[in-house]
């Protein structure tokens, strides 16, 4: 159980374009979705928290207009990086939670040229 | 302000030996302390977790020791194997681990030499 998928697994885009990352919980319902970012050889940093049907709550220093989060259903959440720049290149990992336990997706490697 | 401090940054252990990684936290509201294993290019995978009502938890070769008064917890990997070579992260959260995001330590790069 507790299978989480992310799509795409890796994406390369040009500076100024937008990229959408999908996260699905395949065998459980996620009342809460966490999004983390991990720079190379660094730790995971919480970016934002969203509850199904509600607006996301962003951590200090994370631009809400740049990282758009949609949590429209209990099994799907999306993270859109708008007007991406090279400094946004990172490993983005979703973590859907049942409210009791959170599980991690396989991650999406974003490279912005 | 880093709320979870992890050491060492890197660790080399001989096959069959014991790997020990330590973490210290500052926020006394934390009540859930998991350890994650991460391989390059993959998401983190939960190894073992502990809540502050117990001082030790063991699952197979993995043991967490927890010292509430010192605000410290550690991971012990017994009989370390080359397949254990990975990056290990300690973490902490409030609300039992499901309703609040995790605060991670900086990670320990573990190498098990055959």
Task: For chain B, say whether A105 makes contact (Cβ under 8 Å).
Answer: yes
Task: For chain B, say whether A100 makes contact (Cβ under 8 Å).
Answer: yes
How far, CA to CA in Å, does B103 sit from each of B25, B71, B83, B90? 10, 15, 26, 9
Which residue intervals of A1-113 are DSSP H helices? none
Task: For chain B, say whether A45 makes contact (Cβ under 8 Å).
Answer: yes
Paired with A112 in beta bridges are A13
d(Cα A56, Cα A53) in Å, to the nearest integer? 9
How far, CA to CA in Å, does A41 sit from each of A35, A44, B71, B108? 18, 10, 26, 10
- Which residues on A lie below 8 Å from B102 (Cβ)? 34, 44, 46, 95, 102
So what's the pLDDT on residue B29?
Answer: 92
d(Cα A22, Cα A78) in Å, to the nearest integer? 5
Q: What is the pLDDT of residues A52-93, one digit of tens each?
A: 888 899 999 999 999 999 988 999 999 999 999 999 999 999
Task: For chain B, say whether A13 makes contact (Cβ under 8 Å).
Answer: no
Least confident of A25-34, B5-14, B47-56, B93-102: B93-102
Helix (H, G, I), strand (E, B) or coil at B59: strand
d(Cα B113, Cα B99) in Å, to the nearest integer? 39
d(Cα B79, Cα B60) in Å, to the nearest integer? 10
Secondary-structure percent of chain B, ordered helix, strand, coil, rounded to 5:
5, 55, 40
Across the interface, whether the CB atoms of A104 and B44 are under 8 A apart is answered yes
Q: What percent of chain A has pLDDT over 90?
A: 88
Task: For chain B, say whether A11 makes contact (Cβ under 8 Å).
Answer: no
Average pLDDT, chain A: 95
So what's the pLDDT on residue A100?
Answer: 86
Q: Is A35 exposed, middle or buried (0-12, 13-18, 19+ CB in 10 A)?
A: buried
So what's the pLDDT on residue B95?
Answer: 78
Across the interface, whether the CB atoms of A100 and B106 are under 8 A apart is answered no
Tally C-beta pairs within 8 A across A and B.
55
Q: Which residue of B has its CA nearest to A31?
A: B99
- Which residues on B lie below 8 Å from A49 (Cβ)? 100-101
């Amino acid at each position: 159980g507790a299978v989480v998928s992310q799509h795409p697994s890796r994406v390369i885009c040009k500076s100024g374009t937008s990229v959408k990352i999908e996260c699905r919980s395949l065998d459980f319902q996620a009342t809460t979705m966490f999004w983390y970012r991990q720079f190379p050889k660094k730790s995971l940093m919480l970016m934002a928290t969203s509850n199904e049907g509600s607006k996301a709550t962003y951590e200090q220093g994370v631009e809400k207009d740049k990282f758009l989060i949609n949590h429209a259903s209990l099994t799907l959440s999306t993270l859109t990086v708008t007007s991406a720049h090279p400094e946004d290149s990172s490993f983005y990992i979703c973590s859907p939670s049942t409210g009791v336990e959170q599980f991690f997706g396989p991650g999406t490697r974003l490279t912005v040229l | 302000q880093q709320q979870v401090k992890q050491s060492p940054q890197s660790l080399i252990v001989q096959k069959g030996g014991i790997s020990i990684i330590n973490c210290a936290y500052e926020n006394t509201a934390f009540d859930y302390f998991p350890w994650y294993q991460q391989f390059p290019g993959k998401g983190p995978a939960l190894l073992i977790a502990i809540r502050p009502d117990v001082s030790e938890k063991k699952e197979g070769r993995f043991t967490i020791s927890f010292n509430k008064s010192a605000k410290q917890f550690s991971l012990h990997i017994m009989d370390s194997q080359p397949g254990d070579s990975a990056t290990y992260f300690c973490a902490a959260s409030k609300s039992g681990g499901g309703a609040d995001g995790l605060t991670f330590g900086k990670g320990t790069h573990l190498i098990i030499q055959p």
